[in-house]
Each structure stands twice: as structure tokens, then as C-alpha cells.
Amino acid sequence: MAEKMSTRDAYGKALLKLGESNPRVVVLDADLWTSTRTQKFREQWPERFVDLGIAEQNMIGVAAGLALEGKIPFASSFACFGARGWEQARVSVGLAKVNVKLAFTHGGLTVGEDGASAQMLEDIALWRALPNMVVIVPADGVEGEKATLAAAEHCGPVYLRFGRSSEPLLFDEGYDFRIGKAAKLRDGADVTIAACGIMTARALEAAERLAAENIEAALLNVATIKPIDVEAITEAARATGALVTAEEHQVNGGLGGAVAEVTARHCPAPIEMVAVDDTYGETGTPDELLEKYGLTVDAIVEAARRAVARK
């Protein structure tokens, strides 16, 4: 069985490395340090950790102030709660171009039994709408750790979306993560699947199933939603003539929308989108929810068939 890790665990692991290597890194949390995996950083460097309590708007303002004083703050919360600070992030982080990292966990349906109010499905749309904001959705624990380290090196605002559930590791330690670059995991001539987060592993399985039907699917892991890899997506659209996007997010404003914007401008092609169809979630196990809301291997396979038929 493939080794598994949640991307929130990878975030906590990366923070420990940053704590050792970069004294400018500080961590802020909104009373969720056990769940966001910032606890070990808190224990190791208490003087560089601030618990702001259930006050996410204030947390983002404090993070902006620390960044202006030369620190590299990682502001941590659940994705659904961190969105409360969007206005503060818009003005104090995005407009001001300050070096704040928003590291929010528990994104998507796989929050599971916590229910609709905690299943953040709109965050990619929210954060990618902000000028100057980098938006990253890692596919596995290796990418989650490397994305966190890369965010610390990047000068400017970054939104990192991490998940609760443990997912298979797709990459090894030699994987070269770069902000703004998609990773091609599979070649194919008939259709391109562009995926992010937990859907990348499912897209890989879907591509293998499609190959048994003589449909060769290329696979792009598009971890950086913004700035999106225009060159890779345009090249894929030209090479295969059809695309499928797969994400654990609303169909509105997420990866699918970002890919469609690129192809509309550079190389129009049929696109099918596997995403939550403009609705809220509900209480259930992660697997039950993914099945009910159509975020499955079967759904990606069906979408690829439709995209190929439209060529």
C-alpha cells in the first residue's frame, strides 16, 4: 500500500525545517494549533509563535505588521475561518504587497463529518481574485512540504491550501517544486487532465483506466493555481485538443475557471470540469462525500470521454 500523509502534516513538518533554518519565520494561529499542525513549532520556538485566538481578521493584520518589520509570518487557521480575514488580506496584504503567508488547512469536502459550514469549497476563487496573491494547492505531502518551503523563499503574499485527510504520496524527495510551474506526470495524445490537490491521485488512476480504452490521457499536476502555468496549459491544449480539470472545489472560480481563461485566450479547446456543482456539502465520511458530489475516478473518466467526443 502506498505511503500516505496529509498536506497539513506536511505543513507542520516544513515549519520545523524553517524554524531551524530561518530565524525570520514566525507562526501565527487562531486557536487551532493542534489541528493546523503548528503545535510542534509552538513547542520548539514559543517566542516566535503567537496564538491570536478566534480572531482571524486580527491575525492577518498582525501578520501584515510583522512582515513590515522584516519577519516572514505564516498565519494559520482552517480555510473556512481564515476567509473571514479576506478584507484585511485584500488591503493589508495584497494591496500593500507584504510578505505574508496564509496557510489554511481543512480545505474541501474531505473535512468530512464537520459538515457544510467547515467544508471550504470557495477559497481558491476568493484568494486567486486578489492581485499579487500566489495560490498553491499541493497534491500530496511531499509537495505540501516543498510548497511551504518555497513560499518562505517567495517575496510576497502566498495562499497555501492544505487538507485534513491522509492521501497517497505521489512524489519523492527529489521532486522539484517551483511556484508557477505545472508538473507533467503522464504523457498522452488524446486528452489532458489538469488536476490539483487530492484530485491529482484520482486523475492518475483515471488516466490509467482510460489507457485500457485506448484513450491516452496526459496529466498535469497544477499545484499553483496562480500564477498559473500558461505555457504548459497552452501546449497541452494544442497537443491533445481537449482538456479535463479536476479539483476539490466549487466549479465556479477554481482551477477549471483558471484553465478555461488560459485556453480561451491562447488555444480554445473543449473543456470538461470535475468539481462540486455550485452547492454546499454536508456531513459524511470523506469517501461518501466525494462519491456523492462526483469527485471520483469514474467522474474523471466520464469527463475525459465527453471531452474527446467534443473534439
Catalytic residues: 56
296 CB contacts (<8 Å, ≥6 apart)?
Answer: 202, 290
**Residue 160 CB coordination number (10 Å):** 27
CA distance 305 to 174: 34
CA distance 190 to 251: 23
Q: Do the Cβ atoms of 54 and 31 come closer than 8 Å?
A: yes
CA distance 271 to 199: 17
Instruction: Write phi, then psi, for 287 (nearest 5 degrees).
Output: -65, -40
Q: Do the Cβ atoms of 258 and 128 come closer than 8 Å?
A: yes
* Pairing verdict, β 224-226 and 183-186: unpaired
- The neighbouring-strand residues paired with 28 are 50, 75
- Is the bond preceding 227 in cis, omega lying within 30 degrees of 0? yes
Dihedral of CA 300/302/306/309: which sign? Answer: positive
CA distance 249 to 251: 6
Task: Name the nearest CA neighbour of 58 among 38, 94, 29, 35.
Answer: 29
CA distance 89 to 61: 8
CA distance 124 to 242: 23
